[in-house]
Chain A
Amino acid sequence: MNDNPLIALAGYFALLSLFAVGGANAAIPEMHRIAVEVMHWMSDRQFADSFAISQVSPGPNIIIVTLIGYHVAGLAGAAVATAAMCGPTCVLAFLVARTWDRFKEARWRIAIQAGLVPVSLGLIAASAFVLARSADHNIYAAAITAITAIVGFATRINPLWIFAVGGALGLSGWL
């Protein structure tokens, strides 16, 4: 790769974004391989910390690339890494969405759409399961998960306050 870190950031993340089927969490191992093992941009510990920061930040978890970019080349690095990770897939998503809506009545389009929905649902359910298994390592954490699930499903109450309670309990060392 080139000596200029901005070009390396742009190249790697643009490429990664087009192969990252399954979203941000599916791409984390590959990001770790590039940032820590191949490019030596950051240590293992720094990568783990970046991951933690991206998780406690609101918004899409893909924001971890902003942190990696910032670490490598400051604000310019943050901007370049984020644009590279989102740009190509956003253009693709836009073109597909346009085509998709144009063939609204086509039988192949209806079949693909109807076929994708159950696979999608199964995969989201799987990520909830995997997340629950890693997050709920004691009874209090499991209780927070259960309460949030019930409030989220059965009521229209904004669940953000449970996040605050969860964060506070976590900070105090209960979880």
Chain B
Amino acid sequence: MSASTAPSSSTATRPKLSELFRAFVIISISGFGGALPWARRMIVEQRNWMTAEEFNEAFALSQFLPGPNVVNFSVVFGSRFGGAPGAAVALAGLMGPPLIIVTILAVLYARYGDVEALGRILTGITAAATGLLIAVVAKMATPLFRKRWDWAPLIAIAAFVGVAIMQWPLPLVFAVLAPISVACAWMTR
């Protein structure tokens, strides 16, 4: 972070490169069925590297860049705390272990080629991963809904209804809601 660090984050500790790498390795190898809940658990709850609000902001930014969200997040997070080396180290920690694991699985698959058992295991893991995602949504929503009821919760609910209930395409929902939401933020400040 630059010299003009916001006071809200001055209490947060600043990770060393080796700690950054280790943290993203753990996020990565725990992250069955999506790494977001594990990233939040590590960064907000265990290491106190970011507040709940800072995490929401960094993840929202990562989500609206093209490409895999958590991969973007590792770069955004790593660069904020350690510049280019920080970004490289976080990315390597996130991608290294699963690359090795999945390559081993690919070799096994090429040899044995039957993944029916894998599909059954997957059903169980997905059920648990879904629960964890619900928990992380609830946690991420807390700072948003705790403030007085203004436009922000309404935008979140609209985005949810648009994609989950109405099943409109995600880029469309984003293209409509993001400008409205940013305009609301601009005017209410």
Contact = CB atoms under 8 A, between A and B. Distances in A.
B136 interface: yes
A59 B121 contact: no
Q: Tell me the dominant secondary structure on chain B's binding face.
A: helix
A85 B115 CA distance: 25
Contacts, number: 373
A104 B6 contact: yes
Contacts of A173: 120
Contact of B131 (A86, A89, A145): A145
A34 interface: no
A66 B164 contact: no
User: Mostly helix, strand, loop or mixed at chain A's interface?
Assistant: helix
A114 interface: yes
11 contacts: A22-B170, A55-B122, A59-B35, A59-B94, A90-B87, A110-B189, A145-B128, A152-B136, A159-B132, A163-B33, A169-B124
Interface of B: 1-2, 4, 6, 28-37, 45, 56-57, 59-72, 75-76, 79-80, 84, 87, 91, 94-95, 97-99, 101-103, 105-106, 109, 115, 117-141, 144, 151-153, 155-160, 162-164, 170-171, 173-174, 177-178, 181-186, 189
